[in-house]
Amino acid sequence: MDHGAHARAAAARVIDAVLHQGRSLKGELSTALADIDDVRDRALVEAMAFAAVRHQGRYAAALSSWMPRPLGSRDAPLRALLYAGFAQLDPMALPAHAALNSTVDAARLIGRAHQAGLVNALLRRAQKDGLPAASVDAAWPAWLLAQVRTDWPADMDAILSASAAEAPQWLRVNRRHGTRDAYYTRLIGAGLQADAPADMPDALRLATPVPVDALPGFNDGDVSIQDAAAQRVREALAPAAGARVLDACAAPGGKSAHLLEHDPALRLLAIDIAAPRVARIEETFARLGLGAQAQVRTADALDPARWWDGVPFDAVLLDAPCSATGIVRRQPDVLLHRRPRDLDALVALQAQLLDALASLVAPGGILLYATCSILRRENAAQVERFLADHPDFALEPLDARFGRDTGAGHQRLPGEAGMDGFFYARLRRA
């Protein structure tokens, strides 16, 4: 059995866990990829899993139209393997002979040897006839689709199309290790093409995503992976030189690191509620050489009495837990796992976090509220509620770099300027 079959089997196990067991795509991939040595196989497994979950609505429609009886629950691993096969043919466009042969072989590796013939027949039909077209909203649950339609009726088609596309790979150059222009030259030397946006001094967008190991100097902290919308957070917060800053939900630490790369004199405290997530912050800072410049703690932002020293912060960043509806292209399993009650709980948590952190902001200081959501309940409506309950805070204007003005913060929709969907509200305390 060649390694290609093992890669298909690994992808099928990840897809099965995500589609049928409610598991996280990133979590399952992290576990699966740790057992694969070959960097090309890791990239292949990741690409198949993402494509299969992203297009699962379309693939389900294909099986429904091609099979006389729907697959039962016992056939969940088979369904997952078929989705991995479909993903190879479309949109990955791998050579058909390799996709078919290795996927059929993988049926034996996942205990489905008796169905290898069925896998072969269905993949050959997909190759011959092509997969049926499906609406871009096929993967969205009806309740969430209705929310997006209510909030962004004129932008609905663009949001759905952008959310169904593969996300670009944005880089953030560590300016403490060199300039963006110098790193751009290193990319070209490594055979990688990239765009350099004129209004984003640290950002580069690769023409084609690559594993981090292919990026020059990644392990030395010269560059990080971070979407451009997330890079805008530093500009929206804009702390004064040497300011005392709190990043209240900091994991994995990318936004805190960006702040420190610009100003090593910042007195920054990065906290997160979960110890494993705090470990990720520490790993981020260690790779970037920032460990000595920041404090990192496991702490609950809802309970400052247990960790705050009583000294107000000049700037507080709350990148709040949210529906992640602005980053569906990066986390397509959001559409599978999110439920209406989850949104209610998230909105309540966001309000509690805002209220708990407000008293930590120094007079004249800034509270930046950010999410990767595109839902009004989590964004503009949340800010309107906060301002009504906290008359000592006022909304400060942001410009067009941060997307469209909602009247209570700025909203970037998915795909605009190549970025993720993101929300920013800059609130100053009197």
Reference 194, options 221, 228, 162; nearest CA is: 228
Looking at residue 135, the DSSP 8-state letter turns out to be -
Looking at residue 320, the DSSP 8-state letter turns out to be -
As annotated, the binding site for S-adenosyl-L-methionine includes: 249-255, 272, 300, 319
Contact predicate 102/5, CB 8 Å: yes
CA angle (238, 217, 234) in 5-degree steps: 10
Structure tokens, 103: 């996927």
Q: Residue 422: helix, strand or coil by DSSP?
A: strand
CA distance 322 to 200: 26
The question of whether 372 is a catalytic residue gets the answer yes
Contact predicate 239/266, CB 8 Å: yes
Structure tokens, 389: 């309950």
Pairing of strands 410-412, 422-429: antiparallel
CA distance 386 to 368: 12
CA distances for 383 relative to 56, 229, 378, 395, angstroms: 35, 19, 8, 9
As annotated, the binding site includes: 249-255, 272, 300, 319
Q: Which of 372, 408, 413, 419 is catalytic?
A: 372
Strands (E), 72-116: none
CA distance 80 to 15: 5
Matching residue, tokens 């007195």: 267
Matching residue, tokens 């990026």: 215
Query: Which of the residues are catalytic?
Result: 372
